[in-house]
Amino acid sequence: MHAPHHSFFKDQPRAEAFFARWVGQLEALNHCTYQRHPVSTVLGTTVVWSLNAERRDWPALLILPGFRTGGLFWDFDNNLAPLKATHRIFMVDVNGQPSLSDGRTPPVKSLDYGHWLADLLDRLGLDQVAVAGASFGSLLGIKLAQVAPQRVRQLVLMNPGCLQPFSLAPRNLYYNLLPLAFPSEANVRKFLQAAVLHPPEHGLTAPALQLLVDYELFAITEYRDHTPKPYAMPPEELARVTVPVDMLLGDKDILFPCQKSLRVARRHLPTLRTARVLPNIGHGIETSPVAMAALAALLR
């Protein structure tokens, strides 16, 4: 596979120590243990975290996280609780994102991310999965659906970062650029509260929010990011999707405003079945209990 882009941590042993502590703290908060699968794929090692992997009689859910996040973000404050009693859950740390997965990545506009995910499913022994993707994860899910539609039982796009360009509205640019230009815990918190969450309706407990702040600050200051950024998929690419698609949108998403995503999806995604706008939810929809309950209902 052609993977010309390479992101990396400045100090790999320090990063491994950070993530060991970070995952341990999340497990302590959630009173659970995540199984770690370091999988050898066409992009190098991909780390996947799982719950209920041994329940082979249960349907499988593949979780694809957004840019500069990891799969375990979906379980802050036990957010995956509605699905833990019904599904085998596989949370992917995407290659090229600040995680323990390798940093090699292909050109984002190629189909290579889809081939990588198909290879990952093979190596996990998963014949068919439901796929839920948040933001950049939605783009990845669409790539998989184009390459191996027979492997995708259902695709749920959550605040997709691929139906329109990143918003250039001044408020969005300010909060997204603030922690990059001036990295500090205070500025990361401002970004998260204004652009990712929407308190008080869409928030996190203090310990979970601290974990989120710690992760983002470490990623911004310690990770050398050369991964290609998401793009607005053209109509002809969206038209190639043949799997059943459902969509969940937050009405307070300032990165990719929901009404434009809704218009594009209805016009160009031929297999779109449902699209629901959830009130008072920001871009980080995967951290919302309301959104996770809606996801669980879609997967029944």
Q: What is the CATH number of the domain that holds 235?
A: 3.40.50.1820
pLDDT grade, residue 149 (50/70/90)?
very high
d(C-alpha 180, C-alpha 35), whole Å = 32
10 Å CB burial of residue 266 (0-12, 13-18, 19+) is exposed
d(C-alpha 265, C-alpha 257), whole Å = 13
In the chain, which residue ranges form alpha helices assigned H by DSSP?
A: 12-30, 81-84, 112-124, 136-147, 170-181, 185-191, 206-222, 235-238, 258-268, 289-298
Query: CB–CB of 38/120 below 8 Å?
Result: no
Model confidence pLDDT, tens digit, residues 97-106: 999 999 999 9
Tally of CA atoms within 13 A in the half-sphere of 36 that contains its CB: 13
Query: CB–CB of 151/127 below 8 Å?
Result: yes
pTM comes to 0.97
Model confidence pLDDT, tens digit, residues 259-277: 999 999 999 999 999 999 9
Residue ranges making up the domain that contains 289: 5-298
DSSP string, 199-240: TTTB---HHHHHHHHHHHHHHHHHEE--PPPP----HHHHTT
Task: Tally Cβ neighbours within 10 Å of residue 205.
Answer: 11
d(C-alpha 238, C-alpha 283), whole Å = 22
pLDDT over 90 at 300, yes or no: no
pLDDT (mean) for 81-98: 97
Q: Which residues of 272-294 are buried (b: 16+ CB within 10 A; e: fewer)?
A: beebeebeebbbbbbbbebbbeb
Q: Which residues of 77-100 are buried (b: 16+ CB within 10 A; e: fewer)?
A: bebbebbeeebbbbbbbbbbbbbb
Helices 170-181, 206-222: inter-axial angle, 10-degree rounding: 70
pLDDT (mean) for 180-196: 98
Query: CB–CB of 271/240 below 8 Å?
Result: no
- Please state, rounded to an integer, the average pLDDT across all residues of the chain: 97
Q: Compute φ and ψ for 111, nearest 5 degrees.
A: -95, 10
Q: Count, in order, helices (H) and strands (E) of the chain.
A: 10, 12
pLDDT (mean) for 183-199: 98
pLDDT over 90 at 1, yes or no: no
> How many domains does one find in the chain?
1
pLDDT (mean) for 74-79: 98
Read off the amino acid at residue 255: L
Model confidence pLDDT, tens digit, residues 112-143: 999 999 999 999 999 999 999 999 999 999 99
* pLDDT score recorded for residue 35: 98
pLDDT over 90 at 167, yes or no: yes
What are 225's two structure tokens? 């990011």
